Amino acid sequence: MIEGRKEAASRTARLDAVFAALADPTRRAIIERLSRSEARVTEVAEPFQMSLNAVSKHIRVLEASGVVERHKKGRDHILSINTRSLDEVDGWIERMRCYWEERLDAMGRLLRELKKDHKLGPKKDRKRGSR
Amino acid sequence: MIEGRKEAASRTARLDAVFAALADPTRRAIIERLSRSEARVTEVAEPFQMSLNAVSKHIRVLEASGVVERHKKGRDHILSINTRSLDEVDGWIERMRCYWEERLDAMGRLLRELKKDHKLGPKKDRKRGSR
């Protein structure tokens, strides 16, 4: 995909922010919770052995990274996952996988070639066969 | 998968380290380089507009996270990717995807039910197309 320098820069910044957001077990647990269903802030905070304020800080990091979104429903603040942000991260890992799978394929081909040569045996034997 | 508390704790620590390692554009570029082929430290450092020392620091972070491995070939230090470390990260994202795809499926079923009820009921506003 061809993309402008600006888009590439903002994509880079987004990847930085999402990976940093994911580098914490509490934040990953929040994502896990919200992946099952959207929830109010207090519901999200409930299972954690920490203050509501501490959980709120983690939620703000997730919101800043774009992984979590917030909307109001009456008086409640409802949190939900923005799946597209994780798609981008997933896309990056997928791209790396493509590279190394190509390498593994190439190594596999090389190995098959070597095996074939081995089957034909060393050159002096080969001369004796039909040529 | 059933796993002991110790394994879960070390898996958590590994995920923390790998996500933190990926949260930097230089480190992602190094992974991209090494995904194409293994390389010497100086080769890895070459394209970057920073000192060899600065690149070496990034490489050490990648080694500590387990994403990059180092082995010696004669005098050279050869760097390569440990694909398993990225598999683990990929697995985590995949698990989240499963959760929300289940939710999307459930919503899809609900929508189809509603449409069916709607078919049986008043006809005038029926929408077609997008799920």
CB contacts, 8 Å: A20 with chain B: 19-20, 23
pLDDT given for residue A118 in this prediction? 76
pLDDT given for residue A14 in this prediction? 93
Task: Of B4, B18, B1, give the one whose Cα is nearest residue B85.
Answer: B18
Cβ-based neighbours of B23, under 8 Å, separated by 6 or more: A15, A16, A17, A19, A20, A23
| Alpha-carbon gap: A17 to the closest alpha carbon of chain B (Å) | 7
Residues B32-59: b if buried by 16+ CB within 10 A, e if exposed: ebbbeebbebeebbeeeeeeeeebeebb
Torsion angle, alpha carbons of B89, B94, B99, B101, to 10: 150
Out of A17, A90, A96, closest to residue B93 by CB: A90
pLDDT < 50: residue spans in chain A: 126-131
Per residue of chain B (131 residues), what is the pLDDT tens digit? 567 888 888 889 999 999 999 999 999 999 999 999 999 999 999 999 999 999 999 999 999 999 999 999 999 999 999 988 888 898 898 888 888 888 778 878 888 888 887 776 655 554 555 44
pLDDT given for residue A111 in this prediction? 82
Task: Of A32, A27, A31, A35, give the one whose Cα is nearest residue A58.
Answer: A27
B15/A19 Cβ within 8 A: no
Give the single-character DSSP code of A82.
-
Alpha helix ranges (H) inside chain B: 5-22, 25-36, 41-45, 52-65, 83-120
**DSSP H or E stretch at residue A30:** helix A25-36
B25/A16 Cβ within 8 A: yes
In one-letter notation, the amino acid at residue A70 is R
What's the rounded Cα separation, in Å, for the pair A57 and A47?
Answer: 16
A86/B89 Cβ within 8 A: no
CA B59 vs CA A104, B69, B89: distances in Å: 23, 9, 19
Out of A37, A86, A100, closest to residue B35 by CB: A100
Nearest CA in chain A to B14: A23
pLDDT given for residue B20 in this prediction? 97
